Amino acid sequence: MRSVVTGGAGFLGSHLVDRLLSEGHDVVVLDNLITGSLDNLSHLKGDPRLEFIEGDIADPIHVDGPVAFVFNFASPASPDDFKNYPIKVMKAGGIGTLHALGLAKAKGAKFMMASTSEVYGDPLVSPQPETYWGNVNPIGPRAVYDEAKRYSEALTMAYRHAHGVDTRIARFFNTFGPRMRLSDGRVVPNFVKQALLGEPITIYGDGSQTRSFGYYSDIIEGVYRLAISDYQEPVNLGTQEERTILEFAQAVIKAVGSTSEIVYLPAALDDPKQRRPDTTRAKTILGWEPVVPIEVGLAETIEFFRGKLVELGKLSA
Residues labelled catalytic = 145
Query: Residue 16: CA atoms inside 13 Å, Cβ hemisphere, count?
Result: 30
Nearest to 130 by CA among 139, 111, 117, 145: 117
Residue 170 has phi, psi (to 5 degrees) of -110, 125
Contact assessment for residue 177 and residue 305, using Cβ atoms and an 8 Å cutoff: no
Residue 18 has phi, psi (to 5 degrees) of -55, -45
Counts for the chain of helices (H) and strands (E), in that order: 10, 13
The 3-state DSSP class for residue 184 equals: coil
d(CA 225, CA 233) in angstroms, rounded, equals 14
- Crossing angle of the two packed helices 216-227 and 11-22, in degrees rounded to 10: 60
**Dihedral through CA 271, CA 276, CA 279, CA 281, nearest 10?**
-40
Spell out a b/e string for 177-210, using b for 16 or more CB atoms within 10 Å of the CB, else e. bbbbbeebebbbbbbbbbbbeeeebebbeebebb
CA angle 104, 107, 110 (to 5 degrees): 45
Query: Residue 171: CA atoms inside 13 Å, Cβ hemisphere, count?
Result: 29
Contact assessment for residue 125 and residue 132, using Cβ atoms and an 8 Å cutoff: yes
